């Protein structure tokens, strides 16, 4: 463990670490996300969620009996003000192995030549390149930092704007099982990740995407926050509902 990593870890509340580690372990075990000998590519955007994911997986390596290797991958989308160099420097101080890939996906997705939703095209290009780099590094798993709030928000996004009931899943195979996407933070609340990031003093890397402050996801997040404030049980009920579908009480086409 690097000196910088030791200093950060010393400021972390054991109670907070235990709670997040419990939820991460529960997700990993329930969906059998990680097996002995796995090589895991971790998508590191620079946001608190992806950094927390990398930190947790790195932290667990020495504490669990399963041996796995990590390779961080950061896709620089090519926006002005991107902080890929700072993200790489931070990763180095924390002992994370990080590959930085410079692209022009962001400007291309926001150009007049693109007739699709810029977020859709940018996400598709980013994911395609992430899979390609995972294969280059001989990784059979790709870990993404989506948490419980992301999963609920995606459900509402898909219902409102795609006309379907679906969301992100904690584990999903691609290319005939060649690569499996895992989401170890699937059971972790965003608020807990924010507290972890604060306790470990993770730096803030602003998102340079011009659509980041006006996305449909942000609208859904605001709507859900109002619901959560009105009743503290709503978030838990929504998340449980995803695994408690009563098909007989849904209309069929």
pLDDT for 9 equals: 66
Handedness of CA 237, 240, 242, 248 (dihedral sign): negative
CB 73 within 8 A of CB 50: no
pLDDT for 2 equals: 64
Query: For residue range 72-124, what is the model confidence (pLDDT) as tens digits?
Result: 999 999 999 889 999 999 999 999 999 999 999 999 989 988 877 888 899 99
Identify the CATH class of 3-249.
alpha beta
What is the bridge-based pairing of β-strands 179-182 and 141-143?
A: parallel
pLDDT higher than 90, residue 7: no
pLDDT higher than 90, residue 18: yes
Query: For residue range 169-181, what is the model confidence (pLDDT) as tens digits?
Result: 999 999 999 999 9
For 15, other C-beta atoms within 10 Å of its C-beta total: 8
Query: For residue range 186-217, what is the model confidence (pLDDT) as tens digits?
Result: 999 999 999 999 999 999 898 888 887 777 88
């Amino acid at each position: 463990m690097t000196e910088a990593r030791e200093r950060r870890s010393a400021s972390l509340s054991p109670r907070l670490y235990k709670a997040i580690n419990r939820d991460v372990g529960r997700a990993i075990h329930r969906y059998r996300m990680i097996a002995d000998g796995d090589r895991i590519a971790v998508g590191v955007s620079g946001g608190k969620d992806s950094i927390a994911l990398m930190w947790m997986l790195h932290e667990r390596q020495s504490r669990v009996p399963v041996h796995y290797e990590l390779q961080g991958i950061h896709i620089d989308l090519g926006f002005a003000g991107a902080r890929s160099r700072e993200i790489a420097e931070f990763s180095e101080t924390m002992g994370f192995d990080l590959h930085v890939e410079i692209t022009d996906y962001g400007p291309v997705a926001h150009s007049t030549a693109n007739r699709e939703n810029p977020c859709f095209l940018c996400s598709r290009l980013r994911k395609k390149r992430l899979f390609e780099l995972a294969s280059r590094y001989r990784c059979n798993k790709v870990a993404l930092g989506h948490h419980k709030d992301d999963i609920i928000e995606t459900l509402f996004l898909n219902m409102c704007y795609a006309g379907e009931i679906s969301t992100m899943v904690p584990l999903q195979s691609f290319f005939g099982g060649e690569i499996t996407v895992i989401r170890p933070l699937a059971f972790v609340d965003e608020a807990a990740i924010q507290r972890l990031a604060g306790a470990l003093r993770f730096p803030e890397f602003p998102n340079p995407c011009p659509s980041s402050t006006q996305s449909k996801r942000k609208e859904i997040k605001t709507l859900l926050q109002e619901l959560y404030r009105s009743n503290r049980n709503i978030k838990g009920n929504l998340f449980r509902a995803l695994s408690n579908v009563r098909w007989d009480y849904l209309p069929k086409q």
